[in-house]
């Protein structure tokens, strides 16, 4: 049986290199794998994921599908909500997502940059900017709230 992401980071839940390695090793059977989403960077107050825009991520008119922006944003926020947390005692679960689609893209790559707005004992809220890497244009602003659920 494969070792889970939580098991891989449990011994050092704030080691960036361990997170990147665990992400690559465990996301093969998740919604992120078919979309080639990669963890680029993570720290105390932020996480950065990237994804290429291809046919897998376009809607019928050739534009980046809005749902892909949300997948990327929620993945960044939920992953970061695990940073420094003892996942054997509590895990983050999404309870709210809201977004504004501001611009569109048809090719290239996108970056989700999640930053903590507020971190409390039971909730963590992130603001995530979805940015077209090649033009640095802001495509979407997303807000995600996760509840820390006791295990």
- The catalytic residue positions are 74
HSE-up of residue 87 (Cα within 13 Å, Cβ side):
20
Please give the Cα distance from 108 to 99 (Å, whole number).
21
Q: Cβ–Cβ contacts within 10 Å for residue 120, how many?
A: 8
Pairing label, strands 38-43, 109-119? unpaired
Please give the Cα distance from 143 to 127 (Å, whole number).
5
CA 68, chain centre distance (Å): 11
Token code pair at residue 90 = 């509590």
């Amino acid at each position: 049986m494969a070792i889970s992401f939580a098991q891989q980071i449990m011994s050092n839940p704030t080691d960036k290199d361990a997170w990147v390695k665990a992400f690559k090793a465990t996301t093969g059977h998740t919604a992120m794998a078919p979309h080639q989403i990669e963890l680029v960077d993570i720290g105390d107050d932020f996480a950065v994921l990237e994804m290429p825009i291809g046919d897998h991520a376009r809607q019928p008119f050739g534009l980046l599908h809005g749902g892909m922006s949300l997948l990327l944003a929620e993945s960044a926020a939920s992953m970061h909500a695990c940073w420094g947390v003892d996942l054997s005692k509590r895990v983050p679960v999404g309870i709210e997502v809201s977004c504004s689609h501001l611009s569109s893209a048809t090719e290239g790559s996108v970056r989700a940059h999640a930053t903590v707005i507020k971190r409390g004992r039971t909730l963590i809220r992130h603001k995530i900017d979805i940015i077209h890497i090649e033009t640095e244009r802001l495509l979407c602003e997303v807000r995600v709230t996760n509840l820390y659920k006791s295990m």
